[in-house]
């Protein structure tokens, strides 16, 4: 079955053309307050997006503001989000709207231990090899 990508019962096309007052009514209060109180950061990011859309530039926007709530105008854009060490590439889709950029750029990696012995962790370094 085909997955239907939607935000609060709206299709991707409806979300992409959604106006800001209508969008703010649909998101959670924490995200709504962040948008209202950090308008300077949103102005900077929206100016970059407007400029990229006018010029047709597909180069990703680099940002360190992981708290940024994804707006409907971000759909189809590429972002490089800082995870504390490197910039991780994100392509924004309709099902990401309302979330934060940092939710999709993980700051930790999965720990994978090797077999006991050489080049293993300190605790298992001196165990007898099976």
Spatial CB neighbours of 52, under 8 Å, sequence gap ≥ 6: 58, 59, 61, 77
Count Cβ neighbours within 10 Å for each residue of 5-38 and write b for 16 or more, e otherwise.
eebeebebeebbebeeeebeebbeeebeebbeee
Sign of CA dihedral 88, 92, 96, 100: positive
**Of 14-18, 78-82, 92-96, 126-130, highest mean pLDDT:** 78-82
63 near 81, Cβ under 8 Å? yes
Judge: domain 6-104, CATH 3.90.25.10: no
Please give the Cα distance from 1 to 16 (Å, whole number): 24
Residues 6 or more apart in contact with residue 11 via CB below 8 angstroms:
4, 5, 94
Domain boundaries, given as residue ranges, for the chain? 6-104
Mean pLDDT value across residues 20-31: 89
What does the pLDDT look like over 44-99, one tens digit per residue?
888 998 999 899 888 999 999 898 999 888 888 999 999 999 999 999 988 888 99
pTM: 0.77
């Amino acid at each position: 079955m085909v997955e239907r990508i939607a935000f609060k019962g709206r299709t991707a096309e409806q979300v992409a053309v959604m106006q800001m007052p209508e969008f703010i009514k649909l998101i959670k209060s924490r995200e709504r307050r962040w948008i209202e109180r950090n308008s300077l950061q949103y102005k900077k990011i929206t100016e970059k997006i407007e400029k990229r859309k006018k010029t047709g530039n597909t180069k990703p926007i680099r940002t360190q503001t992981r708290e940024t709530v994804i707006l409907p105008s971000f759909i189809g854009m590429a972002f490089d989000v800082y995870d504390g060490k490197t910039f991780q590439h994100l392509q924004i889709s309709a099902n990401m709207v309302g979330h934060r950029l940092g939710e999709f750029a993980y700051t930790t990696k999965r720990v994978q231990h090797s077999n006991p012995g050489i080049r293993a962790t300190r605790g298992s370094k001196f165990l007898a090899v099976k």
